[in-house]
Structure 1
Amino acid sequence: MKPTGSVAAGVHQALLAPPDAAPLLLGGGQALSYGQCRDWVARASQGPMADCAGQAVAIWMDKGPLYAQCVLAALFAGARYLPLDGAQPAERVRAIVADAGPRLLVLDAAHARLWLAQPQPADGPRLLVLSDEAAAPGFDAAQWQPSALDRLRAAAPLSEQPVALDEIAAILYTSGSTGQPKGVQLSQRNLLNFAAWSARTLALDASDRLLNLASFNFDLSTFDLFAGLQAGASLYVTSEPELHHPAGLGALIEQQRISVMYAVPSLYGLLIRSGVLEAMRPRCALRRVVFAGEVMPKPLLQRLAAALPQGCGLYNFYGPTETNVCLWHAVEPAELDSPEPVPIGLPIAGAEVWLQDEQGRRVEAEGELGEIWVAGDCVTPGYWRRPDDANSANHRRGCHATGDQGSWRAGRLQYHGRQDRMLKVNGYRVELGEIEAALARHPQLAEVAVLGMPANGGVRLLAAYVPREGALVPGSLALKQHCATLLPAYMVPQQLVALAGLPKNANGKTDLRRLREQLIGNASD
């Protein structure tokens, strides 16, 4: 079934739910009905976002129901939403905003103060602060609105702006190999195709209660927002502090009767190691558990399956941000007893997936490695303002080279890791070159190199550095603090090692293989 309409149109029908329907958005002590959300979205899309059609609306605030409402309002206004993680360093956010050029930047009070801590560019975005605090100096009543937007009244009932299927619906910024984040554009077609397919595949309906764990700048959140809401389900939006307390998260899953959960394997590992899932198994309402974003270690999957209620389905979703989800696999009980890794499976509806060798030939033999290529409705339009990027050229032809290695096994795709220096940390894409670029900005460093090392079923970031001649050798804490001002927390190296020099290959470049061997040798001494 080909996608039609728009993301807003798909959500609109659900927003017309009767007053006695289950709440649409929960979190932070709030329970907002579909009617309350419908009225708020109408006020925001017809008020401060009314002139944003075809433009970007950036959102930088703490995660919660208000954030989700802002995303919906931007889409109903005919705008593209640009989600910024509330925990990202201000300098990185400024770089993203400068690159994306949004018409409007929506903030809460805390992030408004961070934004105003630096001089404002003359061509910067218009600001809208949503806060119940008293307005800060320098803001007028139009810029600083109560979070309920109750000073405004919608001029008409909620309606969505007409948009074409190939219009951009969202820009999600990911780590960039050049040292600067790059924006992946998602079209209306991309989001509609994924939302319709996933809601249908997981049989979502109005009785479901979804748990949003992913940041809204992470592509996993598109399932929660669009598949869940189009099905008329309820969505609990977790706050950042809730994510770091396994016992509290387990209690939330139990008390909120969460039935569908989509998260990265590392978060499931946190819940398993703490014992909370096993403890609440008799009272757990989970019926669909989906994992994506990084490799699921088989021992963790086995423990997860044992901790879930009888009959709860387990699903492996695969796809880079440039395709969102393009492959999927429903885990079969017999696979849990096999030592083989779970496959990434078969293409979703509207997607074509194949393997290709270095000569551009298709790889079809069982067990033979090739790069995973994707085409179809899931492939995004490319990178924002990067038309010369090699992948943007591919996207104009309707396909994407993932950089991941795969092989066919029993008719399904098996994942075999990366070809380049991109890796996943807690599900987030990390380009090691961006971390190196941030470290290189430290005035006391001459050379840097960053590696990802396996650790507890995940990845540990390790940085090697060479101090400048005659400079004081900076300590690990100072370098971590330096990185924290430029990078998200998940990109700050956990370990930093000072070396007299980095090993070089015949071309004078850092020999990463020898460096890895050297660092492993040092660790074992």
Structure 2
Amino acid sequence: MKHPQKLAVELDEQSLTYAELLHYVQVLSLHLMNNYHIKPGDIVCQCVERSLLMVIGVLSISMVGSAYCPLSLRDPPQRLQALVNQTQSRLVLVHASAPAAFDPDNLTVNIDCIIRLEERFSEINLNELSDVPVTPESVVFVIFTSGSTGIPKAVQLRHRNFTEFMHSFVNIDVVTKSDTIIQMARCSFDNHLLSLVGTLVIGSTLVMLRPEGNMDLEYLAGVLDQKQITVMHAVPSLLNSLFEFLRINKRTSAVKYLRSLCSGGEAVNVKQVNLFQNLVGKQCRIRNHYGPAEITINCACYLIDLSKSQTSISIGQLLPNYRCLILDEFSQCVCIGHEGELLVSGVGMFAGYFDRDDLTAKAMININGQMYYKTGDLVTIDNNGLLHYRGRKDHQIKLHGQRIELGEIERCLLNITSISACVVMKWNDDYL
């Protein structure tokens, strides 16, 4: 370990160094292997509040060669149970407040209890962990996105997808090992993997928020200031609320340490970016990010320069080691300025939807020996090679960065016996 005494993760007054974090991860990993017989290839769900335990759980699941599937305590119990059933997971990691959300038939394991017991009564045999067979092709994350049939789709990401994505992300100087990064995204949003795991992969310091702390603007402003946050990534609607709060309350010192401010998950507009730029320091770079879960978190980025006249904010150019095509309805490449569907290929290409080869086949296409993911997003490209998002070719929307198929809402409504037919529509941008 390069920096055992460096601060790895903080949450208010709690903290762990890299050495301490590794110890707890090893303790939980061995318990999962020896007591619950979790093995490489298994999917292990985790349903916990924002906490140090969340980080320990994610890394422990990965250490035993299994795939981490996050579940949100904000979801109704019926949905949580349906997602667990869909993954065929044998085990759900929880803490004290979560077990009641699942059927008695599901094995729920309290992370905190395991760590306390194992620390007191067990010796750690690290040789067992060194024998775990994990390859770059092993699936490490399973993230649910909304499905057009009303059934969520489980996106599988490999180890190499995530590590190569992080290489590309570091390559454009969004994050460095010297940064202090705040975790803003909910665990149901794939972007939480960037802060929760990516931060630790490159040796940065992760600052977590207490449960619902991302919605408490007074608390959030205090954390940004006291912890001297240098990198922040959030959806523009939340950033707009935060920066308006800072402006009105004259709390601009909260963002004076920011080096990198990243917006993604929703369309950001020029007015919002102007607000951000007026409050951050000159050293801060503001970026707009784009990317579906199927291509591993982000695949395009735009370093915003408001000195240039623009009426909308581009999603930029592809990250290193990604490539794209923009095709019309006849599968022909479009000309500059013409609208078409964005197809993306590269190091982040997912391993497919879990147990849904039919949906995987529909989502991918082989063009000249190269597999591309059909995003369903309509874009144009300008003379400078910058991509501009224009909308969807289907009925999918985004709510706070979370992809939602309107068909999934319709299916839930039709399950109510008093409703025989329904149509869910988006109305301008009122759903954001």
TM-score normalised to structure 1 length: 0.76
The reply to whether residue 311 of structure 1 matches residue 283 of structure 2 is yes
What pairs up with 1:238-257 in 2 under 5 angstroms? 238-257=209-228
Q: Distance in 2 between matches of 1:401 and 1:40?
A: 40
Q: Distance in 1 between matches of 2:123 and 2:375?
A: 46
Taking structure 1 as reference, are residues 70 and 160 closer, same or farther at Cα in structure 2, changes over 3 Å only? farther
- Report how far residue 267 of structure 1 moved: 1.0
The reply to whether residue 63 of structure 1 matches residue 33 of structure 2 is no
Select 2:424's aligned residue among 435, 445, 450.
450
Paired residue type of 1:332: D
Q: 2:301 aligns to what?
A: 328
Select 2:83's aligned residue among 77, 82, 96.
96
Q: Is the 8 A contact 1:60 1:85 kept in 2?
A: yes
Q: 1:519 aligns to what?
A: none
Select 1:298's aligned residue among 253, 264, 270.
270
Q: Distance in 2 between matches of 1:403 and 1:261?
A: 28
Q: 2:109 aligns to what?
A: 128
Q: Distance in 2 between matches of 1:339 and 1:201?
A: 23
Q: Distance in 2 between matches of 1:104 and 1:26?
A: 27
Q: 2:157 aligns to what?
A: 186
Select 2:32's aligned residue among 10, 33, 48.
48
Paired residue type of 2:62: L
Q: 1:418 aligns to what?
A: 392
Q: 2:238 aligns to what?
A: 267
Q: 2:189 aligns to what?
A: 218
Indicate the larger mover: 39-48 or 279-288: 279-288
Paired residue type of 2:375: T
Q: String of CA shifts for 1:480-514, please: whole Å, max 9, x gaps.
A: xxxxxxxxxxxxxxxxxxxxxxxxxxxxxxxxxxx
- Report how far residue 391 of structure 1 moved: 4.9
Q: 2:167 aligns to what?
A: 196
- Report how far residue 231 of structure 1 moved: 2.1
Select 2:203's aligned residue among 210, 218, 232.
232
Q: Distance in 2 between matches of 1:376 and 1:443?
A: 46
Aligned length: 422
Select 1:358's aligned residue among 301, 322, 329.
329
Q: Distance in 2 between matches of 1:294 and 1:228?
A: 22
- Report how far residue 89 of structure 1 moved: 1.2
Select 1:388's aligned residue among 354, 358, 366.
358
Q: Distance in 1 between matches of 2:118 and 2:313?
A: 45
The reply to whether residue 34 of structure 1 matches residue 18 of structure 2 is yes
The reply to whether residue 440 of structure 1 matches residue 414 of structure 2 is yes
The reply to whether residue 378 of structure 1 matches residue 348 of structure 2 is yes
Q: Is the 8 A contact 1:57 1:103 kept in 2?
A: yes
Taking structure 1 as reference, are residues 153 and 237 closer, same or farther at Cα in structure 2, changes over 3 Å only? farther
Q: Is the 8 A contact 2:40 2:134 kept in 1?
A: no
Taking structure 1 as reference, are residues 223 and 145 closer, same or farther at Cα in structure 2, changes over 3 Å only? closer
Q: Is the 8 A contact 1:185 1:382 kept in 2?
A: yes
Select 1:207's aligned residue among 178, 197, 204.
178
Select 2:4's aligned residue among 15, 18, 28.
18
Paired residue type of 1:154: I
Paired residue type of 2:208: V
Which structure has the larger Rg?
Answer: 1
Paired residue type of 1:385: D
Q: Is the 8 A contact 1:381 1:395 kept in 2?
A: no
Q: String of CA shifts for 1:191-219, please: whole Å, max 9, x gaps.
A: 01111221232263343110001122321
Taking structure 1 as reference, are residues 149 and 295 closer, same or farther at Cα in structure 2, changes over 3 Å only? farther
Taking structure 1 as reference, are residues 247 and 227 closer, same or farther at Cα in structure 2, changes over 3 Å only? same
TM-score normalised to structure 2 length: 0.91
Select 1:287's aligned residue among 248, 259, 280.
259
Q: String of CA shifts for 1:11-67, please: whole Å, max 9, x gaps.
A: xx5xx5232x2x211115311111110101111112224532111111011122211
Structure 2 residue matching 1:375: 3-state secondary structure: strand
Structure 2 residue matching 1:110: 3-state secondary structure: coil
Q: 1:111 aligns to what?
A: 98
Q: 1:137 aligns to what?
A: none
Structure 2 residue matching 1:253: 3-state secondary structure: helix
- Report how far residue 226 of structure 1 moved: 3.3
Indicate the larger mover: 296-305 or 389-398: 389-398
Q: Distance in 2 between matches of 1:128 and 1:395?
A: 40
Structure 1 residue matching 2:32: 3-state secondary structure: coil
Q: Is the 8 A contact 2:247 2:279 kept in 1?
A: no
- Report how far residue 101 of structure 1 moved: 1.0
User: RMSD between aligned alpha carbons?
Assistant: 2.2
What pairs up with 1:498-517 in 2 under 5 angstroms? none
Structure 2 residue matching 1:47: 3-state secondary structure: helix
Structure 1 residue matching 2:281: 3-state secondary structure: coil
Paired residue type of 1:361: Q
Paired residue type of 1:357: D
Paired residue type of 1:293: G
For structure 2, the residue ranges without an aligned partner over 5 or more in a row are none
Taking structure 1 as reference, are residues 68 and 145 closer, same or farther at Cα in structure 2, changes over 3 Å only? closer
Taking structure 1 as reference, are residues 443 and 350 closer, same or farther at Cα in structure 2, changes over 3 Å only? same
Taking structure 1 as reference, are residues 192 and 33 closer, same or farther at Cα in structure 2, changes over 3 Å only? same
Structure 2 residue matching 1:451: 3-state secondary structure: coil
